Each structure stands twice: as structure tokens, then as C-alpha cells.
Amino acid sequence: MILKWILPSWIFLSSIPVLDLLNCSAFLASAVNPPYFTALLNVTVIHPNSSVSINLEHGRYGQESPKRAVTGLLLEPLPINGVTNRLGCDARTRFHIPPNITHWIALLERGNCTFRQKVLRAASQNVSAVVIYNNETHQDHVTMTHQGTGDIVTVMISQQKAKEILNYLEKNMTLLISIKVGSHFESKHFSHSSYFDRSSSLVFVAIPFIILALISSAWIIFYFIQKIRHKFAHDQNQLIEMSKEEGEVSLYDEYSA
């Protein structure tokens, strides 16, 4: 009788093991912070008299980009019908590639079409790498995704740094950009360390789950105890009534048998 109520509740409770919840929150944490590589960028302005070097802050390699160093001439897209358009989405996007140049790198603005489309546009003109700058000020870098772009290196930089570079490009100066692999920021999701040797973000995600699990477990246990007590009392009442009707077997005898 009592087993009939206890068994289902145990099955229900064991279907929400705490480890599963931790796995789930670890997955969420890695979705928020996927692993990425920073890129060290250095732009050299080729000046008739002296070369100026612009030291850029760290950029970020795209997800599908090969993580390797590349150097080349930096080019922005030519205006389309006289209108400046650095999005690189338009089918008429062209670059003025000087003859005998083996490595050139495109500078494009984020927005209006996918990163993949931008990279493929430049790829049709044999680009070595694509540097995409953020389209909004004070926006953090994202890890760009652009499947199927082969061995083209992609890097995202901030809008502020792009403006510095564009100032020189607008003066028709020749710019050389060098991209190098910086540091690898790895999500700890795939590490084999213990659950508690993780980033604090994981702990922050996990805590609400654990609290929820505890509250719901407590509620379920309380609910079933009430059910069992109710059922037990009901059965006892029935027994009492039955023994009253029979008038012979006492309640004590029924339970000690």
C-alpha cells in the first residue's frame, strides 16, 4: 500500500540527478563564453619619409578561421557608384589590388549580411585575410562564425581602431597589416577537472538550478507524505468500519497477524 506511493516518487526524484543539472549549466556557460583566440595586429603606414606604426589592441579570430599569422597590404572596398560602402555585401564590391601583390587583406564593416558572405565576396578576389570592424561603438568583439570559407584568416576589431586606420586609407596612404596569433581563451567545459574547478560564471548559473531542484524535491516529498498520510488514515478508517461491522476481529489482531 505505502510502497505504491513511495516507488513513483523515488523514480521521479532520481530522474533529476544534480549531476545532470551541473552538466546542463556547464553547457550554458560554454554557450555564453565559447573558446576563442585573440589576434595581435600591427599596422604600418608606408610614408615617403618615415614609416608610422599603429599598434592595435587585440582583435579576435573568427571561429572557422585558421589560427595563423598573415601579413599583407590592407585594402578597403572601392566606392560603389561613387558611394562609400565598406560592408562588402554588394555583388559589385571590388578592391583596387595593385599588380604583383601576392598577399592583400580586406577591411570591411560588420552588418547588413553574414560574415560568411563578406568573406566569400573578398575571396572571389583572392584575399588572404579579412579584417571586420564592429559597426557600433563600445561594442565587444564577437567570435565570428562563417562556415565554408576555407583557409582565409578572419579577425574582428573594434570600431575605434578601424577609424584610426581609415584616416590613413582616406589619405591614400599605403598600409601594411600584420596579424599574429595571441592567446587562447578556452572554455573549461571540456576539461576533465572537477566540477568546482571551473569559472565562476558556471557557479552562478548552477546555483539557481540547484536551488530550484531542492525546492521542487522538498515540495514533492511533502506532497507524497501528505498523500501517504491521507491514504493511511483513509485505510485505517475503512478497517475500523470493517471491524465494527464484523464485530469480532479487533484492530490489534488485524495488525499483529
Question: Contact residues for ligand NAG (CB under 6 A)?
Answer: 42, 44, 48-49, 53, 55, 85, 87, 89-90, 99-100, 110-112, 125-126, 135-136, 171-172, 178
DSSP 3-state assignment of 172?
Answer: coil
Task: Name the grid cell of 71.
Answer: 601579413
Residue number, 175 or 205, with CB nearest to ligand NAG: 175
Determine the distance from the C-alpha atom of residue 83 to the mean position of all C-alpha atoms in its chain, rounded to a whole number: 36
Residue number, 107 or 206, with CB nearest to ligand NAG: 107
Q: Least distance in Å: CB of 105 to ligand NAG?
A: 14
Q: Least distance in Å: CB of 9 to ligand NAG?
A: 48
Residue number, 142 or 203, with CB nearest to ligand NAG: 142
Per DSSP bridges, beta strands 104-109 and 52-55 are: unpaired
Residue number, 126 or 183, with CB nearest to ligand NAG: 126
Q: Least distance in Å: CB of 140 to ligand NAG?
A: 13
Dist CA 146 CA 65 (whole Å)? 8
21 — phi, psi (to 5°)?
-65, -40
Task: Name the grid cell of 217.
Answer: 524535491
Task: Name the grid cell of 165.
Answer: 586606420
Q: Least distance in Å: CB of 112 to ligand NAG?
A: 4
Q: Least distance in Å: CB of 212 to ligand NAG?
A: 33
Q: How deeply is 105 buried, as exposed, middle or buried, from its count of CB atoms within 10 A (0-12, 13-18, 19+)?
A: buried
Give exposure, 6-19, as e/b (b: 16+ Cβ within 10 Å): eeebeeeeeeeeee
The answer for residues whose C-beta is within 8 angstroms of residue 101's C-beta and 6 or more apart is 72, 73
Q: Least distance in Å: CB of 54 to ligand NAG?
A: 9
